[in-house]
Chain A
């Protein structure tokens, strides 16, 4: 026998206090992750890169800068990528040179980068490995960007190519790639290299290939002298490269004496002070927000999809005293490539799931997952409670009969239809949110004075808002009054659905799962038709996925120390939505479909419960 159910009120209170405690514990756990004693020091796990000595001798920084200037001049003359000059220069440095042309029509104009019909060419040269059977390759890439950016990176890339050519150590092909139109070019090149076409782009096939790519670095340098190097790890869908790649970068920065940052933040040693802790916490939260966005934060981001460990290295020139010249950066890259050249198998020894509060510290999956688990357990507790309320015998009790609870037919009794209708309608709204913005842009442009991009974003917001009004109380059409049991079953379904959904999301992209859990778990836990309508509705809207995105934009700007006004923040929010849709269409980022097709309908189910009559 299990003891008779406690009075409803005290049980509710107990459950509420457990939920609040779990929630607070989850948040506290997460914030504690940035506290240095709770984190681990990074260490090189890969033997092949650990103990071997490398001497860096790259001498030709000045000449690389001169090449960069020459490249800039040709770029200006041609008004884009100077393909012929690049081919000639690479050939003169002894590489096998190939080009790949690509065209891509964006689903709607990208206003941030001002492009719609994209046409470009990638140029790459392969340095064949003299010492091994050429079955593996490494990639060094530099984007050919608009304006005056990144000329130094291309110069250094060519300088390194020339220098590497004269060395005999190489056991892997080294591919020097200059890609146009940043990620679009990179996507075309990678898909060409691997014979895939996941997003329906149009590009010419590659004429030359190296072996299977083991690792890649993308270089971004925009000035002759830099003060620090920033490491960018976050790739498509929040995927991260193996931690050993970050360790390698950090180790060489230490060895050569270059200031290195992550998320643009230097490391600090005063972890026991409040400001030291808040610095680490900010760094970690920036990483969480970037990872949650699911977009590639550098050109390396698309490599990760092909099992290639990759990172972007970005030169930063701020007003610090400490200056580093191009020769030093060249030596750093030489060292890294020499070590990567020693790899006997793909990088796999170290972690793939981690958060970094600083470059020398990391939090692994075992440490951060409990924070999510504590939030998810609230959903399961609530579901269990509802199940008990619905009158079935709770799991684990010895006796099904003894409770004497009358079970009519278990959960299906309120009628499958009254549950199924809101579920179906919510998902239809989700499908509309996913498909309509792009489909209906032409119509919107004809009827309203807006640009295509605005049309897409505003349609999305309109459907999102319309969803709030549309689906609730559909069950009444079918069944008359909704029953008390009806909403309980619906809520049980919604809770389990949300728990599974968030769990899966957190496995693939912890940051996204955690941020969504932070906002959705409270409303999922406490929403009932009996709470005060206006207040609950306001809270629900404030915690809806769309608003969460808005807060994330503001927090991100705040953490980057570039706070924005409300007006600018709103504009930024709109551009973030359009970027999200574009990322999905161009590179196959999954955040937009996840939010539109699954998370939003789930939130609508909860909204339905609030207005259950």
Chain B
């Protein structure tokens, strides 16, 4: 395992180093698909300059990162390239570690005999961590995001560390990293539920409202989470000695004032909307991101890791300023679900659409902004298609997961009562 990993790391570093030195390094950070107003490196540099001048970095309407990030970069600004490389590397390795620890019980005797082919052999399991790392490190989306020095790479690293700690069962570290991720971009808040479920599962505490041990642990975890979140927010306050950052960071994320086109669903919609509907629809759009937590947690309460995947995917599709770096994060999970492959229905269609859309983004941008011959509708059409494909992909995986569970308990080849073969219909 070590040799291919080293090779993988070397290849990944080489690609990034080459790109950092090439002429593309100036072009990529300008692409709206790769950087958002939240995580553009240009804005971080601006914030740092303001900080050095003794002005609040949030004085202008340019910088929207959290105070901890700016102090972090304050110390490592000269090594920014290396930091970004290390961060992506970190994510890769973390993914590697966490899936090594994944155990998919080979409890074959518990299931009907014909399901054996649904359960992965140890040999297949062996390569999954490597595949996950490869999917993340060599994903063009990650590479673009890293070359653009988007701080999205840092957020991904934090989320990856959170997943690692959760999987390892360290509830304190898990809570701290979850708080850090929430502090960075609010949306990871929804990962609270799967983390809690997973930790409960690890401690063999059933999710039961009447059990005191359930309540005890939940309170404990919530307390750790809120405590560390509180510490971070207060620390930010003491660093800058003002509460400016709250409105500049979280207000900016939640009220979506910057309508620069990106690959998300917000910009066009809010650019077209009458002003007096704005508040209502912002609420609808933002609640939409958080809303799925409840039904998914109920449905997937036995499978918290899959729930984490679903949540990350939903966040990266519906968040207010998505970039390709966010998409890369949940795509890295896909090899972990390769046992679902045979149940996927639209994978060909979805991958072709995702591929075509990724190529069409720059083309339509060119036609709209440079050639002036197309307009924003063209670009938004592609955005919409891209997101529909992502939603299809995620729901396809969700369906496949449920389907596999069903087959695990009921046998692979279903028979109707009259003996003919039956098909499953998702309702």
Does B348 lie within 8 Å of A392, measured CB to CB?
yes
Within 8 A of A (CB), among B157-173: none
Does B366 lie within 8 Å of A508, measured CB to CB?
yes
Residues in chain A near residue B349, CB distance under 8 A: 395-396
Does B373 lie within 8 Å of A392, measured CB to CB?
no
Identify B359's interface contact among A239, A393, A394, A500, CB under 8 A: A500
A400-B342, A402-B423 in contact; A305/B348 too (CB < 8 A)? no
Closest A residue by C-beta to B369: A307
Measured in the bound complex, the distance between the Cα atoms of B368 and A307 in whole Å is: 10
Does B363 lie within 8 Å of A395, measured CB to CB?
no
A496-B352, A496-B355 in contact; A352/B373 too (CB < 8 A)? yes
A443 interface contact, C-beta 8 A: no
Measured in the bound complex, the distance between the Cα atoms of B25 and A365 in whole Å is: 35
A450 interface contact, C-beta 8 A: no
Task: Report the minimum CB–CB distance from B31 to chain A (whole Å).
Answer: 16
A397-B345, A398-B423, A407-B342 in contact; A507/B372 too (CB < 8 A)? no
Closest A residue by C-beta to B351: A496
Does B373 lie within 8 Å of A239, measured CB to CB?
yes
Most B CB within 10 A of own CB, among A239, A346, A380:
A239
Does A1 lie within 8 Å of B345, measured CB to CB?
no
Closest A residue by C-beta to B423: A399
Does B367 lie within 8 Å of A508, measured CB to CB?
yes
B421 interface contact, C-beta 8 A: yes
A367 interface contact, C-beta 8 A: no
A332 interface contact, C-beta 8 A: no
Within 8 A of A (CB), among B68-124: none
Does B373 lie within 8 Å of A500, measured CB to CB?
no
Identify A401's interface contact among B342, B359, B366, B372, CB under 8 A: B342
Task: Report the minimum CB–CB distance from B315 to chain A (whole Å).
Answer: 27
Chain A, interface size category, equals 35 or more
B338 interface contact, C-beta 8 A: yes
Does A507 lie within 8 Å of B363, measured CB to CB?
yes
A504 interface contact, C-beta 8 A: yes
Within 8 A of A (CB), among B360-376: 360, 363-364, 366-367, 370-374
Residues in chain B near residue A352, CB distance under 8 A: 371-374
The contact string, 1 if C-beta is below 8 Å from chain B, for chain A 124-154, is 0000000000000000000000000000000
Does A393 lie within 8 Å of B352, measured CB to CB?
no
B356 interface contact, C-beta 8 A: yes
Residues in chain B near residue A397, CB distance under 8 A: 345
Task: Report the minimum CB–CB distance from B46 to chain A (whole Å).
Answer: 22
Does B341 lie within 8 Å of A399, measured CB to CB?
no
Residues in chain A near residue B342, CB distance under 8 A: 393, 400-401, 407
Closest A residue by C-beta to B363: A504
Identify A383's interface contact among B352, B359, B421, B423, CB under 8 A: B352
A554 interface contact, C-beta 8 A: no
B424 interface contact, C-beta 8 A: yes
Within 8 A of A (CB), among B334-356: 338, 341-349, 352, 355-356
Measured in the bound complex, the distance between the Cα atoms of B352 and A503 in whole Å is: 13
Query: Would you give 6 A-B contacts (Cβ < 8 Å), ordered by A?
Result: A1-B423, A352-B373, A399-B423, A400-B342, A410-B347, A500-B359
Instruction: List A residues at the B interface (Cβ < 8 Å).
Output: 1, 239-240, 304-305, 307, 346, 348, 352-353, 380, 383-384, 387, 392-402, 407, 409-410, 496, 499-501, 503-504, 507-508
Top 4 closest pairs, chain A to chain B, by CB: A352-B373, A395-B349, A307-B372, A504-B363
